[in-house]
Amino acid sequence: MIYDVIVVGGGIAGLMAAIEAKDEQNRVALITKGNLFKSNSSMASGGINAVLDINNSKEINQHINDTFNSAKGIGNKKAITYMCKQASSIIDKLVDYGVEFDRDENKKILQRPFGGGNSNRTCYVGDKTGSAITMALIKKAKSKGITFLPNTFILNLAKYQDRVSGVIALNKENSQVTIYASKAVVLAGGGYAGIYRGYSTNAPDYTGDLLAVALRAGLDLKDMEFVQFHPTGFVKTNYLVTEAARGEGGYLVNSEGLRFINELGTRDEVARAILKEQLEGKKVFIDLRHLGIEKIQQKLPSLYNAALNQSGINIAEELLEIKPVAHYTMGGVDVNMTSCDIKGLYVCGEMASNGVHGANRLGGNSLLEGCVFGNLAGITAKEYANTNEFSPINYNTVVKDIEMIEYIFQGDTTKNFNAIRISLGKCLFEKVGIIKNEKSLTEAFDYVKYLRQISYSLHCINKEKNNNVELSAILELRNALEISEAIILCAQKRDESRGAHFREDFPFISKHFDRSFVVKELKKGFFRISFKENELLRKFRNLFINKE
């Protein structure tokens, strides 16, 4: 199958990229591993940040500064500035595509405060902003004639020298390996917080598959140790209690009835404060009772229903117990805006590390980043496809993938891979979680290494080729283990605390670590970690060299 542009990922970054990449002549396909309506974007409920008045440079600069400060010294000013300046036109585009943001009586888009920000700049659709945007983008993509290829699991990139030539994929419906040739490819497959299985707001199939694909293709992963824990999830089901609940005035109280933290601090601060209470044996609740039923049903209707249905709690009258949960991952494929070392390949959304979030992401900036950089990736991919020919396919890689799938179908297994996935999630949460130390990281590393070894001897018990969920589970587990190792290696190297990365044995930020770590796979299973200088250091060095 041949396309001019292939986009992988059905969240807002992927949808935006596909829409921008499509014109009347070209063929654009959007590939998703599962159901299009089930992305993390559609779960990001609270809102999208934007300064709406493009002439208000003071407020735009404030958005830039808040984002840069939140990145804690490893943010990329160019990418942040681009994103904040594009925000207003992206909101206009979304409105044009049919997103009905909440408005006041004068039809002005309403904006609410979010944590770590200095202004009310979060535009919203009640508490279902992500799903409202996703639905509008799906409609738009369908109307533009984009081909949707759901249930398609990407195994590897097809490359020819330093150019992309397509993707190698598994059709989940019949377990066939297929090559999709294309001139340009956009990867927008989301982050890896789902590997904290059982302790994450993400769907469990967010296992970092495309990051593992990128590693295998020779690309670097950057800032992998920065995993964001959202302060508020349901205790039993991990359902996200949107930050909008605190933005609208909700309190956090402990079991003694005391407030213990500024609810609108940055997510890392609030998550750590909650964990501290819990470690002291106290429970933590969100208190929304003072908002009143009318405001709750108007501003937080999804939360109201979910609390009632999942926990039997009426939030207008009762406290709702919460806990911090893995929510978002700042690390990803090292890119310059959306470009990387492979020509014709663009990476955007949560799986990209373009430096917009650095060590910590501001709430409300993820939907914005997905839209802005998805848009940019679509534009650049189209330009590339218009000016380049198809590259040859290296069929050796395809054959290897076919053999790998056959091997997983052959043979028997005594291991329960679902139990392995669950225990990996628990290990990561407890040892590579909100608070880490050298001992916990070493234990996690040894465990992940052990699991990686046994993951290569896993086989499908069910040999049926049609819709074999075991096959996807094994492939996801292998990818998740590669990514887990990358997270742990970076966390072990970073002997300091910065943003979402907190080491109790090194509780302070250190100038020495004002840079990012990048992970490269040297050969199958062997990673190299190195420093990447941050912008300021690089500029300073170049200045020095130029003077000489």
Question: Which residues contact ligand SIN by CB under 6 A?
Answer: 44-46, 242-244, 328, 363-364, 366
Nearer to ligand SIN, 344 or 363 (CB): 363
By residue count, the chain amounts to 548
CA angle 146, 147, 150 (to 5 degrees): 125
Per residue, the 3-state secondary structure of 319-359, as one string, reads CEEEEEEEEEECCEEECECCECCCECEEECHHHEECCCCCC
Residue type, 450: Y
Q: Cα torsion at 479, 337, 350, 274 (round to 10°)?
A: 120
Residue at shortest CB range from ligand SIN: 46
Nearer to ligand SIN, 244 or 441 (CB): 244
Nearest distance, CB of residue 317 and ligand SIN, angstroms: 23
Nearer to ligand SIN, 133 or 211 (CB): 133
Contact 531, 517 (CB under 8 A): yes
Nearest distance, CB of residue 42 and ligand SIN, angstroms: 11
- The alpha carbon of residue 271 and the mean position of all alpha carbons in its chain are separated, in whole angstroms, by 18
Scan for tokens 């500024």, then name that residue: 262
Nearest distance, CB of residue 505 and ligand SIN, angstroms: 29
The question of whether 267 is a catalytic residue gets the answer: yes
Q: Are strands 284-287 and 251-254 parallel, antiparallel or unpaired?
A: antiparallel
Question: Edge to edge, what strands does the sheet with 227-234 contain?
Answer: 227-234, 320-329, 284-287, 251-254
Nearer to ligand SIN, 133 or 460 (CB): 133
Nearest distance, CB of residue 116 and ligand SIN, angstroms: 11
Nearer to ligand SIN, 325 or 474 (CB): 325
As a whole number of angstroms, the distance between CA 413 and CA 174 comes to: 21
Residues 6+ apart with CB under 8 A from 20: 374, 375, 377, 378, 379, 382
Residues 6+ apart with CB under 8 A from 463: 409
Contact 179, 485 (CB under 8 A): no
Nearer to ligand SIN, 232 or 516 (CB): 232
- From the candidates 267, 494, 498, 503, which is the catalytic residue? 267
Contact 430, 440 (CB under 8 A): yes
Nearest distance, CB of residue 363 and ligand SIN, angstroms: 4
- Which sequence positions are flagged as catalytic? 267
